[in-house]
A and B are shown apart, each in its own frame.
Chain A
Amino acid sequence: MMFSAEWWQQPLGSWMAWNRVTIAFFIYVFGSILAMGVWEYFSPGGSPRRGIFRLETTRGDRLFMTHLGTAFIFLAWLALFGTPLWGALAAAMIWAVVVFRWV
């Protein structure tokens, strides 16, 4: 059935061992980079600023910090509490808001 857990997890052939979960993951990663490109096109300059870490960051730096931080939040959650990962997702979203707002 479409959008059931099995549908997402089903292997899609042997080349690169894709399944819909990883496809969705990479669509998100490349989509966010593309969105940055579009944002940069309409508002060039990257809006550099100095935030709470006293680092000069542009929008691209903030996206990088969001993604890297998200990876570590998920790993830490997995190590400490295991699955399910909803808590990690919530923490990662808060982290993303914090980075884009104040870093």
Chain B
Amino acid sequence: MNKTFNNKAWWLVLPVFLMVAFNALVPLMTVVNYSIQETFGNNEFFWSGTTWFEQILHDGEFHASLKRQLVFTGLILLIEVPLGLAIALCMPRQGPWVSVCLVLVALPLLVPWNVVGSMWNIMALPDIGLLGKGINALGIPFNYTRQPISAWFTVVLMDVWHWTSLVLLLCYAGLVAIPDAYYQAAKVDGARPWAVFRYIQLPKLKHVLTIAILLRFMDSFMIYTEVIVLTGGGPGSTTKFLSIDLVQKALGGFDLGPAAAFSIVYFLIILFLSWLFYTLMMREEAK
């Protein structure tokens, strides 16, 4: 194949590059600069070296919120990915119901994050909320403002309600893109539905599922708004995830140095886990 050596088109990328530089690179670099300095406001800085990193690495609160974050992200991935895939498999692929189903499942994605938090906050209230009162009526004690298990149940349920649709829509798009010839061949061979799923649909959905898992992983690892509106990180700090801890440090305490060090460690964890997911899934692909 002949390679074209005209690289003038790269100049057209320059505006985007400058924009990314200013809205992503400059803040990220500033965070790095903050992480090794101390400030008392007034834009004056003092050298502090690795102090903030050591402080964060030995901070019990940070370890606890990291553990909570990993459990939360693991839980919602384990629920949302199979659930989204299962619903996508059940949805009609032609006919008038397609648009109805698509609109219905896309609705949760259109609701702003803080509204999702408020909705679930009211719905899960044990005295007046439909969900809270309903669960209590079944004889199961439920109060998300006091019991950690109830709080976790509500937070996970809220995330599943809000974001399963994303996985579902991606899987649905992947399923629709599979050519009919594959299904016809499977029919000729007399393949059962499970075999069709295992050997046609699942391999064809691999890329879409990789994207879905990566998006849900990164998004859930940075969850803030819904949880802060729903539980505020409570009861106690049982639903205090990494971003809530970070905001409390950065804005609540105005500790810019430790918050910057926290952000860098947080960023590195997300970068590493995303790279790991992507690499492992692509390695399977290469086999």
Contacts and interface: CB of A to CB of B under 8 A. Distances in A.
B33 A17 contact: yes
Contacts of A55: 279, 283
Interface residues of B, number: 28
A54 B283 contact: yes
A49 to B, nearest CB: 13
Contacts of A47: none
Interface in A41-98: 54-56, 64, 68, 71-72, 75, 78-79, 82-83, 85
B47 interface: yes
B184 interface: no
Nearest to A61: B279
A16 B30 contact: yes
A10 B36 CA distance: 12
Given A14-B43, A55-B279, A72 B29 contact: no
B107 interface: no
A71 B53 CA distance: 12
Nearest to A84: B50
Given A16-B33, A17-B33, A72-B272, A9 B47 contact: yes
A78 B37 CA distance: 17
Given A75-B53, A78-B53, A79-B58, A19 B268 contact: no
Contacts of B32: 22, 25-26
A64 B47 CA distance: 29
B130 interface: no
B275 A21 contact: no
B104 interface: no
A11 interface: yes
B275 A68 contact: yes
Given A16-B29, A75-B53, A85-B50, A11 B37 contact: yes
Interface string B19-40: 0000000100110111011010
A26 to B, nearest CB: 6
A17 B46 CA distance: 10
Given A14-B43, A54-B283, A72 B268 contact: yes
Nearest to A57: B279
B14 interface: no
A18 interface: yes
Given A9-B47, A83-B54, 15 more contacts: A14-B44, A16-B26, A16-B29, A16-B33, A17-B33, A17-B34, A19-B33, A19-B36, A21-B36, A56-B286, A64-B275, A68-B275, A75-B268, A83-B49, A83-B50
Interface of A: 9-11, 14, 16-19, 21-22, 25-26, 54-56, 64, 68, 71-72, 75, 78-79, 82-83, 85
Interface of B: 26, 29-30, 32-34, 36-37, 39, 43-47, 49-50, 53-54, 57-58, 265, 268, 271-272, 275, 279, 283, 286
8 contacts: A14-B43, A17-B30, A19-B33, A19-B37, A26-B29, A78-B54, A79-B54, A82-B54
